[in-house]
Structure 1
Amino acid sequence: MKFKVYDHAYEFERKIEQILLEKEDVYSLFLGVLQAIKAGKYENPFTATIEEDGKVLALFQMTPPQPLNLIFVDETRLEELIDFFIKSMIELEIDVHSIISSKPWAYKVASMWETKTGMPHHLLMKQGVYRLNKVNETLEHSPGAWRYAQESDSPLIEKWFNLFERDAGMPISPIEHVQKRVALFLKDREIFLWEDKGKIVSMMKKSRPTKNGVTVSLVFTPKEERKKGYARTLVASISRELLKDYAFCVLYTDMMNPTSNKIYREIGYEKIADSVHLGFDKSE
């Protein structure tokens, strides 16, 4: 077996694209981030495979400080592949703070990682991967209408971005970082807002387009406007728009938040996979 690190995103894509497209919805995060790497949106990305006789057995992708995404193709040799992966990462001195992957793969990697390095793991988020093919047209809509976010909306979106991170239990990004990201979102017309009587009451964004799908993310409604159906109506409306250009929409949910999971199922999203985000505790 060979652990091969790829310095060029297009070469990496040629090697692993067919594997990803066979489960384009489940692997949408990996695929979407790869498109962003190709577009030069990340500094110092890490992409690698485990190969044997020209065949890809596992693939890895990381855009620091984001988690390392892992996919294992040959599950019959899972322990062997994980062991080889960990040895290779240690030898290459690749720093890994967290991983994201299919639930059984992630926990197996974390367990063996702890055995090899002494670094215990902890759960950062238990996630469900959902897919939508068709919006439920029987939903009752909340009052108001959607529109694309504009530059003048930046201060509110930046504030809500940090509040979204807080609600999700994520590290709070510095405002300078948030401002840069929001500026890119607006430039690419990725943010959608719901307005009721001239007041912005909810937001969401589209991201990570793949060959046939697109991801829905950053769904947020401030506390004072919740339980009014705004987020459900916004996501349903924009998902319907996105399905005009894509075969399906996908989204990641926090499985510890029963409200959001209920809302997405009502819209027509169906869970297709269980994913977890695990962090590693650095030894003193």
Structure 2
Amino acid sequence: MDFKQYSNAHDFAVKAEPILAEREDVYSLFLGVLQAIKAGRYDNPLMATIEEDGEVLALVQMTPPHPLNLIIVDESRLEANMDVVIKNLLALGTEVRSVVSLKPWAYCFAEKWEAETGKTRQLLMDQGLYRLNEVNEALDPSPGSWRLAEERDCPLIEKWFTLFEEDTGLPISPALDVKKRVALFIAEREVFLWEYHGKVVSMMKKARPTKHGVTVSFVFTPKEERKRGYARTMVATCSIELLKSYDFCVLYTDLLNPTSNKIYQEIGFKRIADSVQLGFEK
């Protein structure tokens, strides 16, 4: 089994994309990040395959400081694949702050990484992956309307970005990084806002478009506006817009939050996989 590292995203894509296309919804995170790497939106990405006799057995991807993402093609050799991944990551001196993948793969990696490095794993996010093909338009809508975010909305979105990280238990991003990221979101016309009586009360973002699908992410309503149905109506309405251009939408939910999972199922999202993000501490 050979660990083959790639410096050219397009060469890596030749190997990875046929595999990713077979489960475009389940592998949407990996595929969407790969598209962003090809577009030059990440510096120094890690891209690698594990191969044997020309056959791809696993895919490895990381855009520091974001999580390591793993796809195991041959699950019958899960342990062997992870041993090869870890051996080579250690040889490269790669810092792995966290891993995100389907649950069996993430936990297998984390247990072995913990044993090799002494870094203790911790649960950052227990995630359900959902797919939407058609919106349930029988839902009772909340009042208001949607619009795309503009430059004038940047201060509010920057504030909500940090509050979103606090709510979800994610590491808090530096203010300058948040400012740059939000500016890019606006430039790419990725943020949808829900307004009621001229006040922005909820938001969501589209992310990681692939050939047939797009991800719904960063769904946030401030505490003072919650329990009024704004997020559900916004996601439903804006997903209808997204489905005009894509065959399906996907999103990740926090499985420890039964309310959000219930809301997304009411909209029409169906659970297709379980994922987990695990962090590492000494």
Common fold by TM > 0.5 = yes
Q: Name the residue aligned to 2:102.
A: 102
1:3-82 superposed matches below 5 A: 3-82=3-82
Q: Compute the displacement of 1:119 (Å).
A: 2.2
Deviations 1:195-251 (A, max 9, x none): 111111000010100010000001000111100000000000010110011000000
Q: Name the residue aligned to 1:212.
A: 212
Q: Name the residue aligned to 1:83.
A: 83
Deviates more, 1:185-194 or 1:104-113: 104-113
Runs of 4 or more consecutive aligned structure 1 residues displaced over 6 Å after TM superposition: none
Runs of 5+ in structure 1 lacking a partner? none
Runs of 5+ in structure 2 lacking a partner? none
Q: Name the residue aligned to 2:273.
A: 273
State how far apart, in whole Å, the 1-side matches of 2:116 and 2:157 are: 43
Q: Compute the displacement of 1:120 (Å).
A: 2.2
State how far apart, in whole Å, the 2-side matches of 1:189 and 1:115 are: 44
Local SS of the residue matching 1:104: helix
State how far apart, in whole Å, the 2-side matches of 1:203 and 1:232 are: 11
Q: Compute the displacement of 1:115 (Å).
A: 2.1
State how far apart, in whole Å, the 2-side matches of 1:230 and 1:279 are: 32
Q: Name the residue aligned to 1:261.
A: 261
Q: Name the residue aligned to 1:251.
A: 251
Matched residue type, 1:128: G
Q: Compute the displacement of 1:85 (Å).
A: 1.4
Q: Compute the displacement of 1:166 (Å).
A: 0.6
Q: Compute the displacement of 1:5 (Å).
A: 0.7
State how far apart, in whole Å, the 2-side matches of 1:28 and 1:138 are: 28
CA RMSD for the aligned pairs?
Answer: 0.8
Q: Compute the displacement of 1:20 (Å).
A: 0.3
Q: Compute the displacement of 1:83 (Å).
A: 1.1
Q: Name the residue aligned to 2:138.
A: 138
Give the structure-1-normalised TM-score. Answer: 0.98
Q: Compute the displacement of 1:60 (Å).
A: 0.6
Q: Name the residue aligned to 1:111.
A: 111
Local SS of the residue matching 2:128: strand
Q: Compute the displacement of 1:167 (Å).
A: 0.5
Give the structure-2-normalised TM-score. Answer: 0.98
Deviations 1:83-117 (A, max 9, x none): 11111111121111110011011111111222222
Local SS of the residue matching 1:138: coil
Deviations 1:169-193 (A, max 9, x none): 1111122111111111111110010
Q: Name the residue aligned to 1:182.
A: 182
State how far apart, in whole Å, the 2-side matches of 1:173 and 1:270 are: 31
Matched residue type, 2:25: D
Matched residue type, 1:187: A
Deviations 1:54-107 (A, max 9, x none): 111001100111000001100111111111111111112111111001101111
Deviates more, 1:268-277 or 1:110-119: 110-119
Matched residue type, 1:167: D
Local SS of the residue matching 1:60: strand
Q: Compute the displacement of 1:35 (Å).
A: 0.6
State how far apart, in whole Å, the 2-side matches of 1:168 and 1:142 are: 24
Matched residue type, 1:15: K
Local SS of the residue matching 2:51: strand
Local SS of the residue matching 1:59: strand
State how far apart, in whole Å, the 2-side matches of 1:46 and 1:117 are: 20
State how far apart, in whole Å, the 1-side matches of 2:189 and 2:87 are: 43
Q: Compute the displacement of 1:41 (Å).
A: 0.8
Matched residue type, 1:225: E
